[in-house]
Amino acid sequence: MEFNREQTLSLIGSGPVHILILAPIGQDAQVIAKLIETAGAHADVCKNLADIVEKFDDDVSSMVIAEEALTEALSLLTERLTQQPPWSDIPIIILSNSRGRIGPSQRWTLLRDLGNTTVLERPLHGQSLLIALRSTIRSRDWQYVVREQMQRMNASRSDLEQKVRDRNDSLYTAIDERRRLEQELAEAKKLESIGRLTGGVAHDFNNILQIINLSSKILAQLPASETVKRERAVLAVQRAADRGAKLTHQLLAFARRQPLVPQHFSIKHKLNEMSDYVRQALDREIDLVLDLPDALWRVKADPTQLEAAILNLAINAKEAMSEGGTLTIRAENLTLPAEGYPMVQHLTGDFVLLTVSDSGTGMNASVASQAFEPFFTTRHSDGHTGLGLSQVYGFATQSGGSVWISQPARGASVAMTLPRGEQEEADRGLAAGPDDETMTFAGLHVLCVEDNEHLAEATVIVLAQMGFEVTCVHSGEATLDQPLHRFDLVFSDVSMPGRIDGIDMAKLIARDRPNLPVLLTSGYMISPERLQHTGALFLAKPYTVAELHTSLKRALQKRLSRPSRP
């Protein structure tokens, strides 16, 4: 290689210029290095391909390799070159070797594999090498520009990604915050309705207790001769007790804890039957329209509770139509799930949809959202406790259906789904027939089981007045000690101290003395499932004497319908 000391070219790049040299034979490497250093760049002489691979990094501006150095280990270099970052394509100057060890056919393949190569034939003038190096440095500088732009792009991309992440984070925080607020609101609403519930119960019961308190005081003080006043006081106590009983029934209905006696019956028949007294409950200016198709399915529900629900709805409608209007009761078959009924998405199967609509004032959204809550009322006049729709709600849901309010253009509409009943069951239900009014209890022996001493005392008196011979015990265990074959009926409380409660006792009696009828009573509501295998009838406390009479008759009728005692 010729090296002209007078050379004027310098090797300047955008940054420090760093050139790797591999020319293992002779003095070429040193000569080239000196030339490069003189031109103002940094030259690094490598021993072999492994060495050049090791020293090659992003800051290397170009490489000068003598062709004879491209030995079998060349793959080391080609592999390293493929690992360059996307912006990098290192320029390589190959100093050809006319006496090269590689045959001409392989030569071009090798050079192609090295990528960005320039071949300079030797012998070579120093100036030619410098010119070639300058162009490699310029091309490498462009690569550095691309690198910088890519870095900037990456930075702004990650900046953008970070911004998106930050935005998402703040969105999630906002959603969490909103959820928290919604929960707090729901909690506050729940507390508000519990407050209203307890407040309502306390208010009503205090009035009831007040009446009982004053009336009993009057009774205690009035001389026996004041019969009229005494009767009035007794009546007041009775009314107060009735009112209290109604209140707990309604509350239990809302809590879905009332003992339902579901039957399979024709809703069309029931509504036609009821239409007269629904009409009586409405004002003259209100028309009652019944829309009941012939092919209506039967329902499975407690008919007495259905009556109460229809009456509650009719009275609400009447209150909303003080100027008159129309009350429409419509029933139709509905198989769920069905389009247009998102509110009963949780139900599947056959139902009868009962809709009670009026043309009255209607409800605004806020009233409609709270109307089913117990003690919620907008009618703060006497006699309105806000328990009407709670009964409807409790009844519908406990029956396995649902209820909701819709607001037509005019008035309000309450829709209720009740599960479809069965045909044979319906017939069976009807076959039960009315009570035997002529039935007498004289000569019958009842075993009364009641742990509350005062209540036991009063019950014994009432049962004796009905004609029964009465034996009274105070626990389940004591019942089983009795000679049960001597009794015609067991009338028992459910919750009692000791190991055997009324339900256990009824089960034992059903097993050992299947012909002995059992009537259970409790102030706690007993789920119908618990009663299922006892064969017993149930009477909810508080009961009136008339209700007790009817239940006792039913229990005895049950016995009479079975084969007689052995």
Ligand X SMILES: Nc1ncnc2c1ncn2[C@@H]1O[C@H](COP(=O)(O)OP(=O)(O)OP(=O)(O)O)[C@@H](O)[C@H]1O
Position 386 contacts ligand X (CB under 6 A): yes
Return the one option of ligand X, Mg ion, none that residue 320 interacts with (CB less than 5 to 8 A, by type).
Answer: ligand X
Give the integer Cα–Cα distance in Å for 499 and 479.
Answer: 12
Nearest distance, CB of residue 184 and ligand X, angstroms: 26
Q: Which residues make beta-bridge pairs with 492?
A: 449, 520
> In whole angstroms, how close is the CB of 316 to Mg ion at the nearest point?
4
Nearest to 39 by CA among 119, 125, 127, 117: 127
Q: Which one of 253, 334, 387, 500 is in contact with ligand X (CB under 6 A)?
A: 387
**18 vs 318, beta carbon nearer Mg ion:** 318
3-state secondary structure string, 381-410?
A: CCCCCCCHHHHHHHHHHHCCCEEEEECCCC
- Measured from the CB atom, the residue of 91 and 388 that comes closer to Mg ion is 388
Residue 180 or 379: which CB sits closer to ligand X?
Answer: 379
Stretch that binds Mg ion, among 13-21, 230-238, 309-317, 535-543 (CB under 5 A): 309-317
The residue nearest Mg ion at its CB is 388
Closer of 221 and 381 to Mg ion (Cβ): 381
The dihedral over CA atoms of 58, 61, 66, 68, expressed in degrees to the nearest 10, equals: 10
For the record, the structure tokens of 8 come out as 């004027």
376, 386 in Cβ contact below 8 A?
yes
Query: How many residues appear in the chain?
Result: 566
> Which option in Mg ion, ligand X, none does residue 412 bind, with CB closer than 5 to 8 A by kind?
ligand X
Q: Tokens for 442? A: 């004289």
Nearer to Mg ion, 388 or 421 (CB): 388
Q: What is the largest CA-CA distance in the chain?
A: 151
Grouping H, G, I as helix, E, B as strand and the rest as coil, residue 354 is strand
| One-letter amino acid of 87 | W
For residue 245, give every residue at least 6 positions away whose Cβ sits within 8 Å of its Cβ, in sequence order, or none.
Answer: 542, 543, 544
Decide: 267 and 295 in contact? Cβ < 8 Å. Answer: no
Q: Using the rule CB under 5 A, is 388 a contact of Mg ion?
A: yes
Number of residues in contact with ligand X under rule CB under 6 A: 23
- Residue 163's Cβ-side half-sphere holds a number of Cα atoms within 13 Å equal to 5
Residue 472: beta bridge partners? 448
Taking the least distance from each CB to Mg ion, the nearer of 136 and 377 is 377
In the set 258, 305, 316, 551, which binds ligand X (CB under 6 A)? 316
- By CB under 6 A, the residues from 362 to 381 that bind ligand X are 362-363, 367, 371, 376-379
The CA distance from 67 to 95, in Å, is 6
Cis amide linkage into residue 123, ω under 30° from 0:
yes
Q: Which stretch binds ligand X (CB under 6 A): 27-35, 127-135, 221-229, 309-317?
A: 309-317
412: contact with ligand X by CB under 6 A: yes
> Which of 412, 503 has the CB closer to Mg ion?
412
- Between CA 59 and CA 65 the distance in angstroms is 17
Cβ at position 340, least distance to ligand X in Å: 22
389 binds ligand X (CB under 6 A): yes
Any contact of residue 325 with ligand X (CB under 6 A)?
Answer: no
Residue 41 amino acid letter: A
361 binds ligand X (CB under 6 A): yes
Residue 248 site contact among Mg ion, ligand X, none (CB < 5 to 8 Å, cut-off depends on kind)? none
Q: CA-CA distance, 406 to 357, in Å (whole number)? A: 9
When CB distances to ligand X are compared, the closest residue is: 388
Minimum CB–partner distance for residue 387 and Mg ion (Å): 8
Nearer to Mg ion, 69 or 282 (CB): 282
Token duo for residue 286: 């209100």
Nearby residues of 383 by Cβ (< 8 Å), 6 or more positions away:
none
- Give which of 306, 275, 307, 269 is closest to 290, Cα–Cα: 275
Cα gap 78→60, rounded to integer Å: 16
Q: Which two tokens stand for residue 333?
A: 């078959």
Q: From residue 154, how far is each of 59, 124, 145, 151, 313 by CA, in Å?
A: 20, 43, 14, 5, 69
Q: Pick between residue 388 and residue 517 the one whose CB is nearest to Mg ion.
A: 388
User: Which of 384, 513, 549, 554 contacts ligand X by CB under 6 A?
Assistant: 384
CA distance readout (Å), 183 to 175, 186, 187, 523 = 12, 5, 6, 35
Query: Interacting stretch for Mg ion, rule CB under 5 A, among 39-47, 213-221, 308-316, 359-367?
Result: 308-316
Stretch of residues binding ligand X (CB under 6 A), selected from 225-233, 353-361, 479-487, 557-565: 353-361
Q: Which of 215, 316, 385, 551 is the binder for Mg ion (CB under 5 A)?
A: 316
Q: How far is the CB of 370 from ligand X (least distance, A)?
A: 8
Tell me the window of 149-157, 199-207, 275-283, 310-318 that interacts with ligand X (CB under 6 A). Answer: 310-318
Q: Which is nearer to ligand X, 225 or 366 (CB)?
A: 366
Q: Is residue 317 close enough to count as binding ligand X by CB under 6 A?
A: yes
* Closest to 63 (Cα-Cα) out of 40, 45, 85, 39: 45
Residue 258, interface with Mg ion (CB under 5 A)?
no
Q: Considering the complex, what minimum distance in angstroms separates the CB of residue 397 from ligand X? A: 15
From the list 63, 72, 81, the residue with the least C-alpha distance to 101 is 72
Closest CB to ligand X among 254 and 538? 254
Match 């459910």 to its residue by tokens: 494
Cβ-based neighbours of 205, under 8 Å, separated by 6 or more: 244, 247
Q: Please report whether residue 299 would count as binding ligand X according to CB under 6 A.
A: no
Report how far apart, in Å, the C-alpha atoms of 274 and of each of 280, 349, 418, 421 are.
10, 27, 18, 19
Look up residue 45 and give its two tokens.
């002489």
- Which range touches ligand X (CB under 6 A), out of 261-269, 315-323, 457-465, 511-519? 315-323
Nearer to ligand X, 119 or 368 (CB): 368
Q: Considering the rule CB under 6 A, would residue 320 count as an interface residue with ligand X?
A: yes
Find the shortest distance in angstroms from Cβ 547 to ligand X: 22
Interacting span for ligand X (CB under 6 A) from 134-142, 200-208, 277-285, 387-395: 387-395
Q: Which is nearer to ligand X, 258 or 312 (CB)?
A: 312
Residues that bind ligand X (CB under 6 A): 312, 316-317, 320, 358, 360-363, 367, 371, 376-379, 384-390, 412
Using CB under 5 A as the criterion, which residues of the chain lie in contact with Mg ion when the complex forms? Answer: 316, 388
